[in-house]
Amino acid sequence: MILIHPPVAKPSEPPAGIARLSGALTSRGISHRILDANLEGLLYLIHLSKPLPGTSSDRWTSRAFRNASGNNTSLRSRQTYLNIDRYKRAVIDLDHAIEKSVESEVIIGLANYKDSTLSPLRSADLIQAAERTEINPFYPYFSKRLRDLIEKDGPSVAGFSLNYLSQALTAFAMIGFIRQNFPGIKIILGGGLITSWMKNADWKDPFTGLIDTMIAGPGEQQLLSIAGIDNANKIHYTPSYDSLPLNDYLSPGRILPYSASGGCYWNRCSFCPEMAEDNPYIPLPADRVMDDLNKLATNIRPSLVHLLDNAISATLLKRLAADPPGVPWYGFARVSKLLTDLEFCKALKDSGCVMLKLGLESGDQAVLDKMQKGIDLETASLVLKTLKKAGIATYVYLLFGTPPESLTEARNTLEFTLRHKDEIGFLNIALFNMPVCGPEVAGYKTSRFYEGDLSLYTDFVHPNGWGRKNVRHFLDNEFKRHPAVSAILQKDPPVFTSNHAPFFVMRHG
């Protein structure tokens, strides 16, 4: 069996989903191989980055090609993260070198893949990507790599983990290559994106004949069943990263991604994809989490642990504070009174917590209440101030254009941000997208958002006339232009964003 993580996704850390599957197979003694084709494919483009035949390069492109190898190396050096301008130059130039190495119909970067002729939101286009596999820019890499691996190992199953739209076209091109050249291999497709597609009430499988099995949700049990293990009742297996190239990822030290739960323990927010997809909250016992983290930290010796939970539970936060994992760590946490306790936050800091991501979404109380966020702005204010005093950085997520919002409420969010400009370390600013299968969608006049049968979101008529054009105008001409907000945004690592942000605060610890 071979498990494949396809391009393109941020190559800053190993793929957690594949590692969980590998852990399940390893625990049952099932032979398999892991292929991080995302990392290998991007490194292939970096090492080959050069002007396309018959094209000329401007000064920026020439510099980007000339320095591609050096910039690739520099992103693994802590020295680069001591200067945000030096870091930005390395990332932006490397991203540009990759983009200019491929045909203009396709835009590829360190976390990006867009094709002007094929859409990952149209099943017909994905099937075409599988039929015309040779047109994919990664074809020279994966055609040789897959052929060598398959002819050497002779796997009977190839499993693909598909989590992002930026992976879809290349994943299907790789699937098409296997179908055309090794038709006896069984193709399995799972991952976050596949789960979202299959949880849609209107889902009708368009890939019959191309994909043998599609898996929604955690895939360990089904994968074991396919491998002949029928009594696999165990819910959790310790992830295995042993077969992944841990030193090759574009980060200044090994990152250990780990999920202590599935779903969200709050699970009440309006318009949340977790609710729309009816994903259950399944936490691991804190003892098991700490046991896993201790074993993995001893084996991998990471520089940073990335907790992948939608929100780290209060129980686990308390356990981490009381029983430090011995490695710096970060992840998402809910705004709660627990984080207003300065002594507790100091204990979190002492446990290795370098940054917490906070999904605040809005600085207007009425908007938060109507969205059932369960967040009180006075508490949020105190949380930000307390974490700042404790020395824990914050990465705050704001969401504009939600149905309860108008320009007035958006300006209240701006005012809240300005009042806490000294406490907010980093900002993520996003436009609201309404899930196509959410329970609230029936209350709005909707229209097709993207042209494709696999779209996850729908356009809607905003009840306050606060449409996307208005929201973008406010963000571009008012919110982001404020000097205090601009100063925060300037600190955000381009492309890698929150995945690399901890390294810019760890240097002070």
Question: What would the pLDDT profile of 360-399 be if each residue is shown by its tens digit?
Answer: 999 999 999 999 999 999 999 999 999 999 999 999 999 9
**CATH 3.40.50 boundaries in the chain:** 2-49+101-226
Average pLDDT over residues 486-508: 93
Could you say which DSSP state residue 326 is in?
A: S
User: What pLDDT digit, counting tens, does each position of 266-289 carry?
Assistant: 888 887 777 667 788 889 999 999
**CATH 3.80.30.20 boundaries in the chain:** 255-506
Average pLDDT over residues 323-327: 95
Q: 337: how many CB neighbours lie within 10 A of its CB?
A: 11
Between the CA of residue 234 and those of 24, 64, 96, 238, what are the distances in Å? Answer: 9, 49, 45, 11
Instruction: Confirm if 180 and 147 have CB atoms less than 8 A apart.
Output: no
Could you say which DSSP state residue 122 is in?
A: -
Instruction: Write down the residue that tokens 């491998």 correspond to.
Output: 227
Q: Which CATH number fits domain 255-506: 2.160.10.10, 3.80.30.20, 2.40.50.100, 3.40.228.10?
A: 3.80.30.20
Contacts of 52 (CB under 8 A, 6+ apart): 100, 101, 102, 103
| DSSP E strand stretches across 156-264 | 157-161, 186-190, 213-214, 255-258, 261-262
Average pLDDT over residues 86-106: 93
Beta-strand relationship, 329-333 and 353-361: parallel
Average pLDDT over residues 458-482: 95
User: What pLDDT digit, counting tens, does each position of 124-149 carry?
Assistant: 999 999 999 999 999 999 999 999 99
pLDDT (0 to 100) of residue 450 = 66
Type of residue numbered 484: A
Beta-strand relationship, 446-448 and 457-460: antiparallel
Alpha helices in 182-308 (DSSP H): 192-199, 220-226, 273-276, 286-300
Residue 169 has pLDDT above 80, yes or no: yes
Instruction: Confirm if 327 and 301 have CB atoms less than 8 A apart.
Output: no
Give percent above pLDDT 90 in the chain. 82
Consecutive H or E run containing 283: strand 282-283
pLDDT (0 to 100) of residue 38 = 98
Instruction: Confirm if 269 and 372 have CB atoms less than 8 A apart.
Output: yes
Pick left, alpha or beta for residue 326 (phi over 0 → left; psi -120 to 50 → alpha; otherwise beta): left
Residue 53 has pLDDT above 80, yes or no: no
CATH class entry, domain 2-49+101-226: alpha beta
pLDDT (0 to 100) of residue 508 = 43
Averaged pLDDT score across all residues of the chain: 94
CA angle 389, 393, 399 (to 5 degrees): 120
